[in-house]
Structure 1
Amino acid sequence: MQLNPYLMFNGNCEAAFKFYEQCFGGKIVTLMTHKEAPSAEHIPTEWQDKIMHVCLDLGSRLLMGSDSPPGYFEPPQGFYVQISIDEPAEAERIFHALAENGIVKMPFEQSFWAFRFGMLVDQFGTPWMVNCEKGA
């Protein structure tokens, strides 16, 4: 079994996934808008270019998402997407990239279980935990 996060957005999914692709060094392998769907004629004109499904390949894991239909979006709550990174410099880079224009909930610093750990909500509203267990 493999669990892969599926993130929902309020119209900014494409911008978020282009940012995640650059931040994590992955590759977007699927990007489908609502106008490409068989049901496109039932989608409002202003929603045609919104994302119906996107998939970011991160090697051994996938990060997927879409824009919630109008009126259905609910801000994420009660979870964090957790990232484990062995290399301290890379963990630091990713934490600070995700934190830019976001809200740091717990600074990226040493903890009793990890060399560095931090929590944040990025500029797109996605909650993240970045963990680096190993020191330099």
Structure 2
Amino acid sequence: MNSLNPYLNFNGNTEEVFNFYKSVFGGEFAMVMRFGDTPGCENMPETEKNGIMHIALPIGSNVLMGTDVPKSMEQVTAGTNMSISVNVSSREEADRVYNGLSAGGKATMPMNDMFWGDYYGMLTDRYQIQWMISYSEKYQS
């Protein structure tokens, strides 16, 4: 296991929220990815293309991450506004962790190779906790 990090979901104000967190914790964003710059979002409404698909703010040895949830998806409420992002050391570990956590829960996005290069999946466990499992070859030594 490489790391566990919080992943926050917002209804369109992620950039505002993360600029606030940056003002409190300091540092620089490690990544800012907008919907309009990503494959598969070409038909998204123009009003949502500037939304944050992924943002990352390193804080100490952890990374606070977040996203805007498009209006076409179920809107964020208390309980769906946070996930735990798990970065693992191998594809096999990703499958093992994903299968273990999804047992008795809901597999929302099966493990698969993603356009940004990670092997990635999402699920909600039997206790209603949302998880994001990710393996990236580029971060292995």
TM (norm. structure 2) is 0.52
Distance 2:37 2:53 in 1: 9
Distance 2:21 2:54 in 1: 15
The structure whose Rg is larger is: 1
Identity over aligned pairs, percent? 40
Mark the runs of 5 or more structure 1 residues left unpaired by the alignment: 81-136
Q: How does 1:84-99 map to 2 (within 5 A)?
A: none
Tell me the number of residue pairs that the alignment of Structure 1 and Structure 2 aligns: 81
Mark the runs of 5 or more structure 2 residues left unpaired by the alignment: 83-141
Name 2:77's counterpart in structure 1.
Answer: 75
The answer to whether 1:7 aligns with 2:12 is no
User: CA-atom RMSD, angstroms?
Assistant: 2.3
Name 2:138's counterpart in structure 1.
Answer: none
Cα–Cα, structure 1 residues 32 and 78, in superposed 2: closer, same or farther, change >3 Å? closer
TM (norm. structure 1) is 0.53
Name 2:58's counterpart in structure 1.
Answer: 57
Which secondary structure does the structure 1 equivalent of 2:50 belong to?
Answer: coil
Given that 2:9 and 2:80 are in contact with CA atoms closer than 8 Å, whether structure 1 keeps it comes out as no
Give the drift of 1:12.
0.2
Q: After the TM superposition, which segments of 4 or more aligned residues of structure 1 sit over 4 Å from their partners?
A: none
Give the drift of 1:77.
2.8
